[in-house]
Each structure stands twice: as C-alpha cells, then as structure tokens.
Structure 1
C-alpha cells in the first residue's frame, strides 16, 4: 500500500547548475546534491522536493511551487533586488509590483526559475 507520509514531489530543469544557483543563492533555500545528479530542495519539515535535469525540458504551464510568505510586498522587493522579475497574467488585477490582488483569495506574485518553471509567493488571507 502507498504510504501517504512518504510522497516526494519533483520537477525538471534544463540546467541543474543554474537551478542550484537560483534556488540556493537567489531564493536562499536549502539545496543539497542528491543521488544521480539530482538536487534536493528542503523546505519546511517535509520530504525534499526533487529537481532533476532533463535534456529536452519543457517548462510547466502551471505553478510548480508556491511559497507562503508573511509580507508579500517585502518579499517581492527582496526578490526584485536580486534580479527576479514578476509575471503578469491576463485575468488578474496586478499592482505596480506585479502582485495580483483579489477580494476572493490571497495576494500572489508569480515568477520563473531559469528553466521557465512557474513559481509563486502567496500571502494567505486571514
């Protein structure tokens, strides 16, 4: 039977070294080298997220990782200072910083890793 406490998520990148630099240095997350050339992204207390190189990588057309933050404006400013640009998607009301705001849900800002995978920071509503 599948042990639901042991699931591991993963996604591909086109360049593992650029991914290591981006996730480890720009986002300042804990990144460890794994077996077979994989990277392990350690967030929270759960299982690591696996990042693996793929020669014919195609970025996902959906958000692969969402990071809850306490202050989205401060986090956008910090990431922008590191050269990260924020995406704007049709159908969302973005402010001047690229933060999508809605009365129906959390504030969210999307950005991409060097391989084009979509990530987001989210400030949960109270």
Structure 2
C-alpha cells in the first residue's frame, strides 16, 4: 500500500536550539529549520537524502531505545571523533564494552557504541559490515 510513498521518521527533543547545534555541528549533519514560534522544527538530512523530523516537545521524555544508528567503517575513529566533541559513550547492563565504551562484535553482534543527544535520546555508531 505504501511501498511507493516517501516516508520519514521523527523524534522529539526538549531544546530545539541544542538539537540543531548537536546534529549540525557535533555530528556534521545537514540541518534545516522550518516553521515559526511553537511550530519550529528541524529536518536532518542523512546520507542518501533520507530526512528525519525533529520537533520540540514541552514534556519530552527521551526514547528508551536507539532512535538513529550511524553505520561507519571505523567505530574506533567515530568514537574518538565524538569524544573530541565532548560526547560520552553510554554503557548498558548485559553489553560488555571496552574502555572507550565500544562493544566489540562477536557471536553475530555488531561492533557498536551508544551515545545520547542533548535531549537524552539514544544514538549509536556501528560497524558498516553489520549486514554481512
């Protein structure tokens, strides 16, 4: 039914200006702002032209799951780059991570590291060879 339609994902944040700085300056994504006043929103453009809608929500609650996964060729280099921008890797029970906060792929698991945006939403960098 919707196989030929354009679709995009979205998520909320508690501070649109902080989100614009984080996604644009820290992560280096193309960020466009639209709307005015209470209807301000951001569109993030990912590789390949995929867009993600980011909107402010007064009673925002961070997502309890990973909202964006960035596939990279070198997870170590990505984590080092994030750390250089002051981003701290998250560590979760049941996932053994090294000193950098990277869970090294084994047993079919990807090499992955999680971090949060300023609103507390979870993101990750993971090895681009995850799909085999």
TM-score range with shorter-chain normalisation?
A: over 0.9
**Higher helix fraction (1 or 2):** 2
Tell me how far 1:45 sits from its aligned partner: 2.1
Tell me how far 1:46 sits from its aligned partner: 3.6
CA RMSD of aligned residues (A): 1.3
- Find the aligned partners of 1:97 and 1:113 in 2 and give their Cα distance: 18
Aligned to 2:118: 114
- Find the aligned partners of 1:102 and 1:79 in 2 and give their Cα distance: 20
Tell me how far 1:83 sits from its aligned partner: 0.1
Query: How many residue pairs are counted as aligned between the two chains?
Result: 126
Aligned to 2:98: 95
When structure 1 is superposed on structure 2, of 100-109 and 17-26 the one drifting more is 100-109
Per the normalisation by structure 2, the TM-score is 0.89
Per the normalisation by structure 1, the TM-score is 0.94
Runs of at least 5 residues in structure 1 that lack an aligned partner in the other structure: none
User: 1:17-41: per-residue Cα shift (whole Å, max 9, x none)?
Assistant: 0000000001111111123311000
Tell me how far 1:68 sits from its aligned partner: 0.3
- Find the aligned partners of 1:83 and 1:4 in 2 and give their Cα distance: 41
